[in-house]
Amino acid sequence: MSEIIFGLTMAGLCVSLMLILYKHLEAKIMVKIMEYYRGMEDRIYSEVARLKDSLGEQNKKIMMINRGLKFSLETQNKILNIMLSNKAGYRRIGEAGSINHSSGVKRSREDSISRETYPVNLERLNDTEKNVLLFLSKTGGKVGVREIQLHMNKSREHIARLMKKMYEDGYVEREGRGNSYVYWVRDEVKNIIMRDARTS
């Protein structure tokens, strides 16, 4: 009988020890599981923070690209407006800036720009200017600076300045020939010059 009691006692002790051991192991396992999940949580937060920083950098790059595109589009629009404006100006000029294919003569850009011509007033001219206009009127064609220089017996620089002024004042027209110009008198100026020459 005593042996049975002893056996039951030992069995109870073993069960108790097993329960204690199981609870101890269970606690360690739970601790490990909690540590693992805390580590995972920390890594997840770190990755989220890194992604936020990366997104911030990407947004900055996107903003810089957008500013660059906006500047590029504005520049292209300005260039296009200038080109359209110049094209409209060239259409108004008409044939002034075109190439004369029959003679191979190209008008200069300066000549292509339309300028204001004033009413003919020969009283504003000095004797040299009047003589140049009379010479051109009698010649009846396009005359180069060299021919005018020889006729007037003046320096080339003096004649070049004189003809430029008379062109800007609207008394003569001109056309580019190489590095120089040829000049001729406006019809209304020519009529007055020749009329005065006949009456004088």
What is the domain-level CATH number for residue 136? 1.10.10.10
Return the pLDDT at 173. 93
Shared-domain flag, residues 89 and 138: no
**104 in a domain, yes or no?**
no
Q: Domain range spanning residue 20?
A: 1-97
Q: Are 173 and 186 in contact (CB under 8 A)?
A: yes
> What pLDDT does 118 receive?
53
For the stretch 128-141, pLDDT in tens is 998 999 999 888 88
* Residue 111 lies inside a defined structural domain of this protein: no
So what's the pLDDT on residue 180? 86
pLDDT of residue 120: 65
Largest CA distance in the chain: 172
Same domain, 82 and 7: yes
CB-based contacts of 2, cutoff 8 Å, min separation 6? none
pLDDT of residue 71: 82
One domain for residues 123 and 156? yes
Q: What local confidence, expressed as pLDDT, does residue 119 receive? A: 59
- Domain boundary at 68, 97, 126, which? 97
In a domain, 103, yes or no: no
Question: DSSP letter string over 119-164?
Answer: PP-GGGS-HHHHHHHHHHHHH-S-EEHHHHHHHHT--HHHHHHHHH
| Residue-wise pLDDT tens digits, 42-61 | 888 888 888 888 888 888 88
Q: Residues 91, 158: one domain?
A: no
